[in-house]
Amino acid sequence: MSKRKQHAPEFKAKVALEALKGEETAAELASRFGVHPTMIHQWKRALLEGASGVFERGGRKKPEIDEEQVKELHAKIGELAVANFFFGKKAEALGREVRRGMVEPDHPQLSIARSSFYYTPKGETEQNLDLMRQIDEQLPETPFFGVRQMTWHLRNDGHLVNEKRIRRLMRLMGLMPIYQKPNTSRPAKGHKTYPYLLKGLRVDRPNQVWCSDITYLPMRRGFLYLVAIMDWHTRKVLAWRVSNTLEADFCVEALNEAIDKFGQPEIMNTDQGSQFTSLAWTGRLRRTGVRISMDGKGRFLDNIFIERLWRTLKYECVYLHAWETGSEAKAGIRKWMTFYNHQRPHSALGGRPPAVVYWLRKDETQPDQQVRRVA
C-alpha cells in the first residue's frame, strides 16, 4: 500500500499562489506539481479565506479551549497512532494475500475502502479535451442535446464514446441541455435560494435588473471559467472575470466592480448555482439593498439574455483562438467585450451598441444622477 503523500505548507502556498495568478488551468497545474485538481481548489480557497488574517493586528481574541473536546481528541490521536503503527510496521510482515484481503469488502474483521488508495493524477487526456471542445461547439447549435443525444452525435462523427464518458465531461464543463425538467440546478447544501422576481415584470430602464452567469472556456490544454454581469435592459456587459476554479470569489469580484462603476441594480437575477447561493454573493447584494432573484429549476428562459451572450462570444471569439495561457484568454475576452459593448450592433437595440443605449437611457431616466462613465 502506498503511503499518502504529505505536502509541506510552503508547497501548498506555492501551488495556491500559482492558481491565483490564473495563467494555467487546474489540469495544467495538477500535472506540473503532481497533485490532484481537487487539492488545488482546496488550497486556493484556503489561501483566499486566510489571507485577511495576515493583516490583522493584535486585537484578536484568544480562542476558548474546550477541555472535554481536548480529551476526546487526545484519545482519538492515541487510537490513530496505534492503527498507524500496525499498518506501517506490523502489516508489512504479513503475506500479500492477507494484506490484499484487508481491502476486500467481504473481509470478516477489517475492510479498507478502495477509495482510500491515492494515485498520481494525470488530468484529462488530449482525446477528452478534444471531445470537450466539440461538445461545447455543438451545444449552442443544438441546446436540447442531452447526454444520450450528444453521445449519438459524437458516435456519428466517428468517436468511440459511451454515455458515461460524455456525462462526466458535460458535468465537468458545467453544461446542461436546455429543456424543462426538475432539479437541473441545485445550490450547495445549506445555501438559501430565492424566488424568481421577473415574471410579468416590465424591464424598461438601465440598472433596473442585472443578470449573471458562468460559462466554460476551452483552452489548448484544459479549460477556464468566465463570469459576467449584464444589464438586462440594454444587454451591456458591466463586468467580467476569468478563473481556473469555480469558487464564488471571482464572481463577487465582478459584482463589486460592476457596483463600483455603475451603481447598484434594483434586482439581481442568477441561476441557483452554488456560487450565486453562497453567503459571499448574497451577503454583498443584501448589504446594498438589492433584491435577489433566482431562476426556477429547469427554466432556461429565465436568464436567456446572458445565455445568448455566451453563444455570441464563443462563435465570434473563443472558437477562433486556441489560447495557451490565462493572460491570452483574458486579453482576447477583454478585446471582444470592448467591441461588443461599444461597436457591435445589437438587433434588439435597433442596431445600436449596448453601451450607447445604456448611457442614453440612463441620462433619460436618471438625469440628476452623476455616474462616472467607464467602459
Cell numbers that stand for 148 in this block: 444520450
The band of 87, judged by pLDDT with boundaries at 50, 70 and 90, is low
Is 21:29 a contact under the CB 8 Å cutoff?
no
- pLDDT tens digits for 140-185? 777 778 888 899 989 988 999 999 999 998 888 777 665 443 333 4
The band of 33, judged by pLDDT with boundaries at 50, 70 and 90, is confident
Residues 39-44: what's their mean pLDDT?
86
Report the pLDDT value the prediction gives residue 29, as an integer from 0 to 100: 85
pLDDT at 66 over 70: no
Q: What percent of the residues of the chain are helix, what percent strand, and what percent coil, each to the nearest 5?
A: 50, 10, 40
Report the pLDDT value the prediction gives residue 109, as an integer from 0 to 100: 53
94 or 239, which is more confident: 239
Report the pLDDT value the prediction gives residue 96, as an integer from 0 to 100: 66
51 or 95, which is more confident: 51
Residue for grid cell 474483521: 109
The band of 253, judged by pLDDT with boundaries at 50, 70 and 90, is very high
Is 29:15 a contact under the CB 8 Å cutoff?
yes
pLDDT at 375 over 60: no
In whole angstroms, how far apart are CA 260 and each of 235, 238, 281, 366, 372? 18, 10, 15, 17, 10
Prediction pTM value: 0.65
- pLDDT tens digits for 184-237? 344 566 678 899 998 889 999 999 999 999 998 888 777 899 999 999 999 999
pLDDT at 65 over 80: no
The band of 117, judged by pLDDT with boundaries at 50, 70 and 90, is very low
Cell numbers that stand for 26 in this block: 487546474
Report the pLDDT value the prediction gives residue 183, as an integer from 0 to 100: 36
Is 223:217 a contact under the CB 8 Å cutoff?
yes
